Amino acid sequence: MTSRKRSGSGSKRPKEKVVYIYELIFRGEDPTSNSNPEFWNEFFLLQPNVESLEAELLKQTNEQLMAIRGNINELFTRCIDILGSDHPKRVYNSLQTLCALIYAIFKKSSSGTESGFDIINTMVGFSEAEEKMKKLVHHCNEFLVSDTEDCPRDMCLKLLLVLVTGTDNVSQNVLLEYIMINSIFESFVRILSDPPLRALHGHDIVILLTLLVNYRKYEAPNPYIVQLSILADELALNGYGQVISSSLIEFCRQYTQNLAEAQSSSWFSSLSNIVGNMFVSDEGCDKVQQIRANNALLLALYEAVHLNRNFIPTLAHSQAESSAPPSPSNTLNASQPVPDLAAAPIIDVTQFPTHPNAIHYEPYELSYSSLKHKIKQITIISFKFSLIHNIILYQIPHKYQTCGN
């Protein structure tokens, strides 16, 4: 009984092996000092401790970071090298380590202790930056278009999102120059064209593409602007539109539901809301945050309409095909005999004079099914314009509101 108490009374949890290795790296020591040739292969079999890795880097001063820059460069290089491995666990752990490392370096840079120019030198080193980033983007392209079941596509997209959103102003992100040089646009198109992959990763793809299109948009040539403007793949354009519409429709559905619940409340609740709206409430902040979360998709819609002349025609054409009217049914009853067309009277059209300048129209019969189809098309188009209009109107009252942190 006493021994059990001693074993569980305030005993310190043993440190993870991966955390111990992080500490060695950020103390400037060589983690491979025991001359183990399999050290890095074994290291990437260990589950990364993201919190510890970020904490170890963030607590370093600027001088300390410069002193241990060689170790950070080595870790970054080893992560990229292991991406070519055929071991799924090593590859996944490597991507997760890269996410934590890049995120921590960007966070350290934004804190004011480092200039943005030093990010490249701290992460990978100037001399090898172009080669290593080219290799990283190459592996990302392979993962995005891979057909294997254990492909780490989701973690690869998270890495790209961390890399692209490292700075508040996307045009100040120096690492994006390497993504401009080594394009991932074709991989995005492949995913948007594939319905199962689009359902899983379409939202991330559209967000990434929108951010890359806006990198130094008015300052320098941007290959993603050019590629999006000339994209003529109907499947990809239709998939792009479906990602945007599904997200915005869901947002509008939630807003309509909240509005209906608010209108059905009692007069006392309405009075409380009036008084509460005099101040900035948490509920108001939540609504503003929900709208801001969809701002990127509204921007994605704008970029597609503004840059690509095929976007709207493709959506209209695909919508028309998906809502095509059914074939007209037989207008004769089963009890009626089939008319004998050979016995029909012959009409001499020459006995009906026409004006020489008269316009001749082809006969056209507007059936009920065709009329129903036209009305359905008009309703769909009206709904799309109403959807965008409602979203814009809903943002106006909250545009100048400020919410406390």
Residues 53 and 147 in one domain: yes
Say yes or no to pLDDT of 371 above 70.
Answer: no
> Quick check: is 90 in a domain?
yes
pLDDT at 380: 57
CB contact at 8 A, 187 and 145: yes
> Quick check: is 362 in a domain?
no
pLDDT at 357: 44
Residues 114 and 197 in one domain: no
- Chain centre distance of CA 172: 20
Residue 66 CB neighbours (<10 A):
14
Residue where one domain finishes, among candidates 144, 172, 200: 172
The total number of structural domains that make up the chain: 2
Compare 342 and 165 and report the one with higher pLDDT: 165
Gap between the Cα atoms of 48 and 53, Å rounded = 8
From 32-36, 53-57, 155-159, the region with the lowest mean pLDDT: 32-36
> Quick check: is 8 in a domain?
no
CB contact at 8 A, 205 and 211: no
Compare 36 and 218 and report the one with higher pLDDT: 218
Residues 128 and 203 in one domain: no
Gap between the Cα atoms of 318 and 298, Å rounded = 21
Average pLDDT, the chain: 77
364 DSSP assignment = -
Tell me which residue has tokens 């948490």.
Answer: 282
> Quick check: is 328 in a domain?
no
Say yes or no to pLDDT of 19 above 50.
Answer: yes
Residues 187 and 157 in one domain: no
Residues 73 and 33 in one domain: yes
**Local confidence band at 271 (pLDDT 50, 70, 90 cut-offs):** low
Residue where one domain finishes, among candidates 172, 198, 226: 172
The crossing angle, in degrees rounded to 10, of helices 282-307 and 195-213 is: 90
**Local confidence band at 116 (pLDDT 50, 70, 90 cut-offs):** very low
The four Cα atoms 347, 350, 355, 356 give a dihedral, to 10 degrees, of 130
Find the length of the chain.
405
CB contact at 8 A, 205 and 188: yes
From 15-19, 104-108, 171-175, 269-273, the region with the lowest mean pLDDT: 269-273
> Quick check: is 105 in a domain?
yes
Residues 43 and 191 in one domain: no
Compare 228 and 295 and report the one with higher pLDDT: 228
Interval 301-326: pLDDT, tens? 999 999 999 998 887 776 555 554 44
Interval 57-93: pLDDT, tens? 999 888 888 899 999 999 999 999 999 999 999 999 9
pTM over 0.75: no
Say yes or no to pLDDT of 339 above 60.
Answer: no
pLDDT at 9: 47
CB contact at 8 A, 107 and 165: no
Residues 127 and 191 in one domain: no
pLDDT at 76: 96
Burial of residue 260 (CB within 10 Å: 0-12, 13-18, 19+) is exposed
* 224 token code pair: 């993603």
> Quick check: is 144 in a domain?
yes
pLDDT at 206: 96
Range of the domain at 237: 183-261+290-318+374-381
Residues 187 and 141 in one domain: no
Compare 96 and 257 and report the one with higher pLDDT: 96
> Quick check: is 285 in a domain?
no
Residue where one domain finishes, among candidates 122, 143, 172: 172
Say yes or no to pLDDT of 394 above 80.
Answer: no
Gap between the Cα atoms of 190 and 103, Å rounded = 27
Interval 141-184: pLDDT, tens? 999 999 888 899 999 999 999 999 999 899 999 999 999 999 99
Residues 90 and 143 in one domain: yes
pLDDT at 117: 46
Residues 21 and 130 in one domain: yes
**Local confidence band at 377 (pLDDT 50, 70, 90 cut-offs):** low
Say yes or no to pLDDT of 196 above 60.
Answer: yes
From 25-39, 240-254, 374-388, the region with the lowest mean pLDDT: 374-388
Gap between the Cα atoms of 194 and 239, Å rounded = 8
Using the Cα atoms of residue 367, residue 369, residue 373 and residue 375 in order, give the sign of their dihedral: positive
Gap between the Cα atoms of 99 and 92, Å rounded = 11
Residues 201 and 70 in one domain: no
Residues 248 and 194 in one domain: yes
> Quick check: is 151 in a domain?
yes
Q: What is the mean pLDDT of residues 206-226?
A: 94
Interval 127-142: pLDDT, tens? 889 999 999 999 999 9
